[in-house]
Structures are given as C-alpha cells and as structure tokens.
Amino acid sequence: MNLTLKIWRQKSNTDKGSLETYPISDVSEDMSFLEMLDVLNEELIEKEIEPVAFDHDCREGICGMCSLYINGEAHGPDRRVTTCQLHMRKFNDGDTIFIEPFRANSFPVVKDLVVDRSSFDRIQQAGGYVSVNTSGNTQDANSIPIPKDDADTAFDAATCIGCGACVASCKNSSAMLFVSAKVSQFSLLPQGQVEAKERVINMVNKMDEEGFGNCTNTGACEVECPKGISLDNISRMNREFITANVKK
C-alpha cells in the first residue's frame, strides 16, 4: 500500500505544533500501525529528519502506552484493540491517515504524539490499591466465598490498561470510565471493602483536581475503550461516591 500520513509534529509542550505530511510506500497490510511508524522513522533518520516521537512499550495490548488518535478515533478504526494491535489491513491503498496525540488539558503534549498521562498515576495513588495486612493473621483469600458474577465483573473492570482513550474520546475530557474501573475492581471484592469509602472519595476528588471533566452519558468512552470497559462502572462509582459521602 502507498499511503499519505498527516502527523502532528510538536517540538515541546510550549511549541505550537502542526500537521506535517509524509508519504510512505510499500506498506504491508500485515504490519501493525506502530511497525508502519517504525518504517517511517527509519526513512526519516536516513534523510536526517527528526523521527516522530510516539509512546509504546509492550506492543501486545497490555501496557496502555500506545495512545494515538488515528483518523479522529482513539486507537483508530478497529474495535477493542489498542494502536499496537491495529493492523494496516484496516486501511486501503491511497489512503490519507491523520495521526494526532490524545488531546485533553489533563494530558499535555510532551513531544509530537507523546502526552503526559501522569495525572492518571496521581489518581491511582489517591486510592487505587488495597492495604494488605501481612501480620501473619491474614485470612486465606480462598476461604472467603465470592459470587461468580461479582468476581467476573471485578475482573472485567481490572482489565482497564489506563491508556486514556476514554478521556481523549470524551467531549468533556472526562476520566470517569478509567476511575470507575479502578474503583469497581476493588468495590466488588471483600478485600476492597476496608478502604472503600476513602478510596472512592479520594479518587474522585483527585480526578476533579487534575482537571478532568464530568460525565454527560454520551458513551463515546465505552465505544472507543480497547478493553470494553462498561458504563455500568460509572453508575457503580456514582452510587459508591454518594453513599460514602452520606455515611462519612
């Protein structure tokens, strides 16, 4: 395939940035999207042009680093896949592909397609954990029966990889899908009960403090989420948040 890439180039956080055009030829439909960018970067290096900066790590849909806005969609046109799992067979010979960073005030651009998502880390640090008693008197987890549906729902929530596509897809730049997944993965299990109230209050407050918007039930986040995190998690988090504030 021969393609035209329109890629966002921005030298630094303070640079204005612009879309630059790069033709690329002989792209195999079996390449992943990131492999295609690797090939482009090799060509740019040969021409002594600064390669395009983009985030990636695992390249198998686990780490959540490869966050690109492709033709106006977070992680591109495929469903339930990350950018690293997106294959060039989803595009056609002659296509023009627009590649931009995730755009949200709480995800400032670092360089080109790389954004700073440390706001997510700070929300996690505000409560996205359980404090485990390792005194020697800890109850064996297998001795606590957990309804299968609860275990499955908690596991589904725990598959959130923190990529930020939900924020990038939301007209309000809301992080509610991410935060609600992190709250739900604990709130459905006995281990999460001890710190449940502080967790939801602290994480939601931190989310607001970091400048993310609110949820207006549009549902774009659920559609674009590569892990299929359900909007039900947001309802659960809202219930938890109200209850925690009432019973404080």
Stretch that binds ligand SF4, among 95-103, 146-154, 173-181, 193-201 (CB under 6 A): 173-181
Taking the complex as a whole, the smallest distance from the CB of residue 45 to ligand SF4 amounts, in Å, to 31
- Out of 68, 163, 183, 188, the only residue in the binding site for ligand SF4 (CB under 6 A) is 163
Binding site for ligand FES (CB under 6 A): 56-59, 61-66, 82-84
Contact of residue 37 among ligand SF4, ligand FES, none (CB under 5-8 Å per partner type): none
- Out of 164, 183, 203, 230, the only residue in the binding site for ligand SF4 (CB under 6 A) is 164
Taking the complex as a whole, the smallest distance from the CB of residue 203 to ligand SF4 amounts, in Å, to 14
Radius of gyration (Cα) for the chain, nearest Å? 20
Angle between helices 148-158 and 176-187 (to 10 degrees): 140
Residue 214 near residue 176 (C-beta atoms within 8 A):
yes
Alpha carbons 53 and 152: distance in angstroms, whole number: 38
Alpha carbons 184 and 88: distance in angstroms, whole number: 35
Task: Give residue for tokens 């219930």.
Answer: 239
Contact of residue 153 among ligand SF4, ligand FES, none (CB under 5-8 Å per partner type): none
Cβ distance to ligand SF4 smaller for residue 124 or 191 = 124
Alpha carbons 110 and 69: distance in angstroms, whole number: 15
Cβ distance to ligand FES smaller for residue 62 or 151 = 62
128 binds ligand SF4 (CB under 6 A): no
- Out of 225, 231, 234, 237, the only residue in the binding site for ligand SF4 (CB under 6 A) is 225
